[in-house]
Structure 1
């Protein structure tokens, strides 16, 4: 089979499936738990991002889906068919689930073509070659079929690993921090290429990442985990605009945080007054103001501030500000040119869309 260089084959997978986790717990032999009753589903053809800090249980959940690790309790279902649970545990090769490892895991002594056809053991030599070439064409690397991994860049190796995973046409594709090993300049382009390949292959995909922006760029939905628990799940806009708690809000943007009490339907912070009519008078609340939540002026505004430092970041400037009523600097991210170069004493006004108010909890402290 020959494929014209530069072309992309758009043949889809056999089918896209729903992958569901039902009340998954996972405990190590020493009794320490990594997952606590996690329930979520990736819908057919969807890109679902598992997001969270290190140790939140993202990779463990992925390994349970792949069959590399067994959950302690709960079930994993593929199109409502149990593939791991009390009554059954299918081995990885019987799950129709592909896995892209964080380090690509290419065999240096095999050609690119042989790396991609490595898992196609059920096919004849000619059939496996054909499927591997189709997969390489999907990632735009068919002209490297007879080369070896060491001649490829990091981004190209990542695409070979992706080709190997999609060659068997899995129903679900799992990707564990697939871009973490790439140069920052490469990430955007390789991530966009990968997303395009996932869309065209039409597989259900679950992508693990600790990068909120990456999750927002890639995911149709995002599941945010913390300490083995699902904090919130939904679209990027939902998690950003309507975070369930302070942890979720802080994961998607830097925050200025003030613990105050409501008085007359308002929460008065050192940086400005915030409407809080949904809370009773006297209620303890935590006000979180995003760095982008300030309009600045040298002439007028709600709150006076003094510039302690300013960092030029290109499109924006990062300001550290002294504000009466708090010993901690208030941080603001403002458009370059909003203030003159010699500005020192300025005024702040809050943008309501970038101010969040939560009931104060012990975890907020």
Structure 2
């Protein structure tokens, strides 16, 4: 139960990290969107002020130019700071700073344009900025509200003092916009959250399925397919580093007799006990053990010669007997036997030849009937099978 709880906690933590990573990437896209939007809107305002509306005063043009200059300087300073600080860890700070700069700047520019030049098309630009701010900052709520609330307050104050509508209508209009912003933001965030977690679960399930495809379900060891993959990798490493490599083929008897006597479930329990003994005989993390047959196992020993493999083989035999002898002797008259054939790799042997050596070694174990009632450690001789 504790292991299951720990596994669920680990999955939840991994999912949370994955969600934060996707949230950061989405926020990066939002930064680009809101910056591009702000530049475009300022360009449209500049075109109308300087070329399309002849009644605009020079004071309004000067105020707008000064405002753009100040915003540009602050943006440049923020960019310099962002280059020096690892904001990937604190992307929330960047979002908040950018939202305050653009939202606050637009909130100050809006009444300035309305008061001095009656530039009413800025209403449409403000609504567009609010809409795109929702899209840009919906994944981080504080940044969104810091971007839109100053503009809504500015719209409210401007309408109350410079507009021709009733104050009640103005409050209703701003309240409706705020409700729309909240509803749209929550819908987008819910969709984003569900989409990211669905993607995470899909990737996790694919990873687990890939892992299960390489694991023997009875013993929990790696299977024959995974062993062949590791054999290819270790042979390339041994050839590159000019190091030793040894493979041990292991056959444990009498599994078939035990299954016929006690049933397949009891045989599976015996296999699990034998697996525990084999694992206890392997000390190094890089040593790789797999189940390659019904009662056959294979052990990959990098940086190990034949004499070292013989020591490992004898140690594994002792551990298997300690785990299984009491169970086998209580049901069968035949003793437990752990038969091992050591296959030593040579630099001139390729992967295909090494796999043939392993098949021959397995056949040697299965055909060695007189030795099936006793432990044995033998060496594979390629000349014998030519």
Range into which the TM-score falls when normalised by the shorter chain: under 0.3
Between Structure 1 and Structure 2, the one with more strand by share is 1
- Please give the TM-score of this superposition, normalised by the length of structure 1: 0.22
- Structure whose alpha-carbon radius of gyration is higher: 2
Q: Comparing both structures, which one devotes a greater share of its residues to helix?
A: 2
Q: What TM-score do the two structures reach when normalised by structure 2?
A: 0.22
